[in-house]
Amino acid sequence: MMPPVSYATGACKVFSLDYANMLESAPLFARAALTTLKISTAGIALALIIGLACAFLLYLRIPLAGRPVRAYIELSRNTPLLVQLFLLHFGLKVDAMPCSVAALAFLGGGYMAEALRGGLEAVERAQIESALSLGLSRWQTLCFVILPQALIVAVPALGANVIFLLKETSVVSVVAVTDIVAVAKDLISLYYETTEALIMLVLVYLVLLLPICLAIRHLERRVKHVAFGN
């Protein structure tokens, strides 16, 4: 499988990076990273809203809502983001940016709904009765008693979803969004700066993802302190 090649030249190429070139491409990557962040922030925020709405509809057993909501969750979780993007952009002619955000929200909504529903179901239903017996309204019970506890339970799953969606955003270049991957791909195919472009690609993603991963882990650890159990 491995074609015969001199390792010496390979090693040599590693050390003969064109640093000036990498520096030059930095602003391009920075702008692209901003685009990636914009899409993921908007997509994840919308996904959370959709997820919360779906989770509530299922948890409160709203009549007639169950089937469509479950169908949506299954559709979004069992199809790839890339195909969703193709369908939206080329099939339904949605512009690149709104289409990226919409596809991410469509995908993420299903995952967030499952995470939040899991959190809601983990709160004992008897807590509802005890809140009602104090005279709280149904809405107050949901807001002040059930939802906070559900969120605490759901934090690890929600955090995992956020990281998953951030990484999924890396495919939006297929609908001609100039994101990090698109910049790297251009540098590779147009200028043959393969090694430099790949190193920048990894670096930019590390700078983007590492702090967020660490922040989410920190949050998980803090939330663990608010342990449960009667």
- Compare residues 100 and 173 and give the one whose CB is closer to other proteins: 173
DSSP 8-state class, residue 169: G
Q: Rule CB under 8 A: is residue 170 a binding residue for other proteins?
A: yes
Exposure class string for 69-100: b at 16+ Cβ within 10 A, else e: beebbeebeeeebeebbeebbeeeebebbebb
Helix 147-168 / helix 194-225 crossing angle, nearest 10 deg: 170
Q: Rule CB under 8 A: is residue 24 a binding residue for other proteins?
A: no
Residues that contact other proteins, how many (by CB under 8 A)? 66
How many CB atoms lie under 10 A from the CB of residue 1? 2
Q: How far is the CB of 216 from other proteins (least distance, A)?
A: 13
DSSP 8-state class, residue 79: S
From CA 52, how far away is CA 140, in angstroms rounded? 16
Q: How far is the CB of 177 from other proteins (least distance, A)?
A: 13
3-state secondary structure of 93: coil
Helix (H), strand (E) counts: the chain = 10, 0
Q: How far is the CB of 172 from other proteins (least distance, A)?
A: 10
From CA 175, how far away is CA 85, in angstroms rounded? 7
Q: Rule CB under 8 A: is residue 15 a binding residue for other proteins?
A: no
The interface mask with other proteins, positions 192-211, x = CB under 8 A, is --xx--x--xx--xx--xx-
The interface mask with other proteins, positions 101-140, x = CB under 8 A, is -----------------x-----x-xx-xxxxxxxxx--x
Residues that bind other proteins (CB under 8 A): 1-3, 5, 7, 10, 13-14, 74-75, 77-80, 82-84, 86-87, 90-92, 118, 124, 126-127, 129-137, 140, 144-145, 148-149, 152, 167-168, 170-171, 173-174, 181, 184-185, 188, 194-195, 198, 201-202, 205-206, 209-210, 213, 226-230
